[in-house]
Amino acid sequence: MTESSTTTAAGNEHGRHNETAVDLDGGVHDGAYSAGFDREEVADLLADRPNAEERRVALRKLNDDQLDLLGEFVDGFETRREFLEWCQEAAVLSLGELPGEWFVERAFSGLDMSTLLVSDVRYRWAENSDRDVLAVSAARDARRGVAALDLLPAFARAHKRLRWNATEYVNDRDDSFQPDPEEQRHPAMRPGLTVLHQNQAWALARLFDGFDGPDALLSWCHTLIQSSFAEVDSGLARRFYAETHTRDMLLGETDDDREEVRFFRESVGAKYLLPAFSRAAQEVGERAGELAEQEKESMSYPKMG
């Protein structure tokens, strides 16, 4: 989300600190797209989709999860930490097609963070003055523009990679099992992605909260091998221990104020973890097996004999 793309997506510079918008015919309105992600509007749109029986259910499950992710992005984030947590989930649900570098660029850009955040924290990211921060409605429209430019293409690439690996369920006399997309718990019906997501989310949360001591930090570094599918920099632990300031910030053994410690830990997560997590999602998504789930009450079992 560069300065030019943000401005274009928002409309123009007149969107700054101006909650009204101008129609093409010159009339003023409250902002056709200024509300949050309208889930009711989306539900109405999808209500009359063809009621055809899903054959590649994994694709439908992935599509539904990505739509939820899209709504969260358009709504915006209260804090930088919340955005980074969203990035980790986005890495999994895009099957790594949203690259780690995209997350890093967003997390360290004042313009981008002031557009992504919806709380008053966004004003801290102003490069010169509060006037550099987009108005709420303009920022939300900018996020819609970024979703169209960056998120949807990444989601499409994920579907393209998965489409022929997704099991096609075709009923016949010997196999009447047809999975219900609503009953599937795992991203793209792949339990391996759920395990990866849970491990990554835990690792990120532990980093943000800090560590009780050097052994906890060392053990956490070891867990990154699993949560990153061995994609994390093998020298990361050495860097943490070699750099005294870094180690002190992660352990909380510093006189720096809490905001500086929080920002530092978030920056470590953005720079060193998210790119590795994205690569891990790409690897796991490529090879993970599919599991179709069904309510136990509706399952039929063959008779013995």
For the record, the structure tokens of 274 come out as 């998210």
* Range(s) of the domain holding residue 231: 3-15+55-162+181-290
How much is the pTM?
0.79
Q: What is the rounded (10 degree) CA torsion for 189, 191, 193, 194? A: 110
Residue 122 lies in a domain: yes
- 12-67 pLDDT, tens digit per residue, is 333 444 333 333 233 333 344 446 777 777 777 777 776 655 667 778 888 889 99
Amino acid found at 269: G
Residue 41 lies in a domain: no
SS3 163: coil
Distance CA 285, CA 277 (A): 12
Contact (CB, 8 A) for 96 and 200: no
In this predicted structure, the answer to whether residue 172 has a pLDDT above a threshold of 70 is no
Place of tokens 């123009």: 12
Residue 168 lies in a domain: no
Contact (CB, 8 A) for 169 and 55: yes
Residue 135 lies in a domain: yes
How many CB atoms sit inside 10 A of residue 235's CB? Answer: 9
CA angle 52, 66, 2 (to 5 degrees): 140
| Average pLDDT of the residues in 255-275 | 95
- E strands, the chain, in order: 21-22, 28-29
- Give 133 or 80, the one with higher predicted confidence: 80
Mean pLDDT of the chain, nearest integer: 80
Distance CA 284, CA 231 (A): 11
Contact (CB, 8 A) for 139 and 112: no
Amino acid found at 20: T
For the record, the structure tokens of 62 come out as 């992935």
Most confident residue range from 22-26, 85-89, 190-194, 250-254: 85-89
Distance CA 190, CA 289 (A): 6
Instruction: Give the number of domains in the chain.
Output: 1
- Lowest-confidence region among 44-53, 148-157, 198-207, 244-253: 44-53
Residue 43 lies in a domain: no
Place of tokens 């690792």: 203
In this predicted structure, the answer to whether residue 262 has a pLDDT above a threshold of 90 is yes
Residue 30 lies in a domain: no
- 222-232 pLDDT, tens digit per residue, is 999 999 999 99
Residue 169 lies in a domain: no
Distance CA 195, CA 204 (A): 14
For the record, the structure tokens of 25 come out as 């015919």
Residue 295 lies in a domain: no
* Burial status of residue 9 (CB atoms within 10 A of its CB: 0-12, 13-18, 19 or more): buried
| 3-state DSSP of the chain | CCHHHHHHHHCCHHHCCCCCEECCCCCEECCCCCCCCCHHHHHHHHHCCCCCCCCCHHHHHHHHHHHHHHHHHHHCECCHHHHHHHHHHHHHHCCCCCCHHHHHHHHCCHHHHHHHECCHHHHHHCCCCHHHCCCHHHHHHHHHHHHHHHHHHHHHHHHHHHCCCCCCCCCECCECCCCCHHHCCCHHHCHHHHHHHHHHHHHHHHHHHCCCCHHHHHHHHHHHHHHCCCCCCCCHHHHHHHCHHHHHHHHCCCCCCHHHHHHHHHHHHHHHHHHHHHHHHHHHHHHCCCCCCCCHHHCCCCCCC
